[in-house]
Amino acid sequence: MNSDQTEAALSIAPGSQATAFADLDRDLRCLADSRAHWVGTTVAERIAILGEIKGAVMSVAHGWVEAAAKSKGIAAGTALEGEEWLAGPYALMVYCNQMMRTLSHVEGARHLDQVPMRELANGQLVARVLPNSVWDHVLLSGIKADVWMEPGVTRANIRQHTAATYDPASPRHKTGKVALVLGAGNVAAIAPLDVLHKLIAENEVVILKLNPINDYLAAFLQTALKSLVDRGVLRIVRGGKEIGEFLCNHPLVETIHITGAGATHDAIVWGAGAEGLASKAAGTPRNTRAITSELGAVCPTIVVPGPWSAADIAFQAEQVATQKLHNAGFNCVACQVLVVSRDWRQKAAFMSALERIFAHAAGRSLYYPGAAERLAAFSANNTNVRSVPCTGSGEVLIASLNGQSSATVRTVEVFAPALGFAELAGADPELFLQDAIRFANEELYGTLGANIVIHPATIARIGRKRFEELLIGLRYGTIAVNTWTGVGFLTPQATWGAFPGHTLDDVQSGIGMVHNTCLFDRAQRTVVEAPFRPFPRSLLSLSFALLPRPPWFITHRRGRTLGRLLVAFQYRPGWLKIPRIFLNALLG
């Protein structure tokens, strides 16, 4: 989820460079030798490995979170540490649980027996991947995640397009390759999740190069993924640009996966500077390896006009503020453009509530390199920028995209706490949503994630079937309705990546998908939906979705405690852990 993968200048002294490259060469040869062994690793052993990883993650979770929080300037012991619990150990733990569940029934794709399916109006097949367990119903009641298949995938042939890696009749079953994973510098779980996807879903052994921004994770990941390192199918390395270039061009590296910036991707594929531009223009890539990627976007949040109460406005202001300021704004699916109706009578009240949340947000460190320069460019490219100072330190920049704003706000990911504000005409919800979808598709760069905030009465007015028809036309890899696409990232059975169709010479948000613990081979996108505003349905409800605010909200007062409790729960789920989770969620 990292947009600007700036390689910090970790220069290698000439005398040590040769030694470093020799060590990497040795590691790659060992990995190449382990390809056949990994392909032959049984499903039972893979399940056991994932179980071992869970235990190892639990052993380093506290230190992992403390190191990440310190590096990002989060004050020790504050609620904001919860972000590091959820976007680090929790995400990895949930992935292990979900993949173990799939592998337990992967023969013949029998794991799909427990996945409800339906068709959209256009015939596309939809798989309901969340909820899929009693714990989902208890802790995430009301939150749903659907994976939409590509056209042509049907109930009759879905098993032919699922888990090919585990089908003895498929060529992918016996394929073993050496993969290079270039880790992201912003979110701790991205690199290990990408590693596990390569190993478990694609049968490829991995050399992981960490980003210099968060390579302090090396020690924690060495322990967490020790079961893979000890088996010779994973190597974890650190270093700067020289190391990255060496690995990208090493003859033993067969595939590459990068989470980062489009510029970094193009430098790998086409080359740097004038040489790269010439290669791209000629269609002659310098690097011909199979390259998959997740490269960020200018992500929109579409606020559909409707009959909102004061409580609705207050809650959704927290929702959108979280979409912008979670992880200090350094998320590839952070909201960059807020799309609202200029004719919505509650527009001013909503914008005022949003700015109040920004103003009361805890101060954040601009820990990611280049943020100050990108914020300065955001200000320079717009004549109507205003600053909302945050509590303690920091600010959020807001610019109207109507009038004299620069096109760069629509086409360049800011990757910092800045927000574009676009007003479109129209008070009719359906017509406004149509126009907003056109705006997102045609004027905003990338296709990674889009959010829609819409009142249930408004969906009823449009009609559920018609609403889904409109979503079909919104070309994004993850769509979140009344929640944030970041929830899709934390749902490993969902897919994560750009909308299919990008090419190496127009890569935008990337090529390929990760996570996807259901192992769909022809998935198109994920749609996540949550209740519009939490409220207790009954005194017995233990649902985050039905409590005052979800634990990932930047406004949650018990985020740190909840994050720690949720990691412990995913390690060993049990009913006795539920009351404490419920109490801390309620007090948030």
Q: Which superfamily, per CATH, for 299-529?
A: Aldehyde Dehydrogenase; Chain A, domain 2 (3.40.309.10)
Does residue 14 or residue 550 have the better pLDDT?
Answer: 550
Pairing, β 418-424 against β 177-182: unpaired
Backbone angles phi, psi at 523, to 5 degrees: -80, 145
**Angstrom distance (rounded) from CA 474 to CA 430:** 14
The two tokens of residue 582 are 């419920």
**Angstrom distance (rounded) from CA 140 to CA 145:** 11
Does residue 559 or residue 391 have the better pLDDT?
Answer: 559
**Bridge partner residues of 515 (DSSP):** 495
Res 540 pLDDT > 60? no
Amino acid 282: pLDDT: 95
**Angstrom distance (rounded) from CA 227 to CA 51:** 10
**Angstrom distance (rounded) from CA 540 to CA 99:** 30
**Closest of 437, 321, 337, 447 to residue 382, by C-alpha:** 337
Q: Where are the domains of the chain?
A: 299-529, 549-586
The two tokens of residue 332 are 């590839």
Does residue 547 or residue 423 have the better pLDDT?
Answer: 423
Percent of all residues in the chain with a pLDDT value above 70, rounded to a whole number: 94
Res 4 pLDDT > 50? no
Does residue 534 or residue 123 have the better pLDDT?
Answer: 123
Pinpoint the alpha helices (H) of 361-503.
Answer: 371-380, 408-411, 429-443, 456-462, 464-472, 485-489
Q: Which of 36-50, 92-106, 326-340, 393-407 has the least mean pLDDT?
A: 393-407
Q: Which residues of 124-157 are buried (b: 16+ CB within 10 A; e: fewer)?
A: bbbbebbbbeebbebbbbbbbbbbbbeeebeeee
Confidence of residue 405 (pLDDT cuts 50, 70, 90): low
Amino acid 373: pLDDT: 96
Count CB atoms within 10 A of the CB of residue 363.
Answer: 15
pLDDT for 359-392, tens place per residue? 999 888 999 999 999 999 999 988 889 999 998 7
Cα–Cα distance list, 371 to 107, 396, 470, 508 (Å): 47, 12, 35, 20
**SS3 state of residue 527:** strand
Amino acid 403: pLDDT: 67
**Angstrom distance (rounded) from CA 385 to CA 189:** 34
Confidence of residue 408 (pLDDT cuts 50, 70, 90): confident
Residue type, 487: V
Backbone angles phi, psi at 422, to 5 degrees: -110, 130
pLDDT for 211-234, tens place per residue? 999 999 999 999 999 999 999 999
**Angstrom distance (rounded) from CA 355 to CA 27:** 51
**Angstrom distance (rounded) from CA 22 to CA 67:** 30
pLDDT for 188-206, tens place per residue? 999 999 999 999 999 999 9
Give 3-state DSSP helix, strand, coil % of the chain, rounded to 5. Answer: 45, 15, 35
- Cα-Cα end-to-end distance for the chain: 26
Its pTM stands at 0.94
CB 194 within 8 A of CB 182: no
pLDDT for 478-529, tens place per residue? 999 999 999 999 999 999 999 999 999 999 999 999 999 999 999 999 999 9
Count CB atoms within 10 A of the CB of residue 535.
Answer: 12
pLDDT for 281-337, tens place per residue? 999 999 999 999 999 899 999 999 999 999 999 999 999 999 999 999 999 999 999
CB 210 within 8 A of CB 217: yes
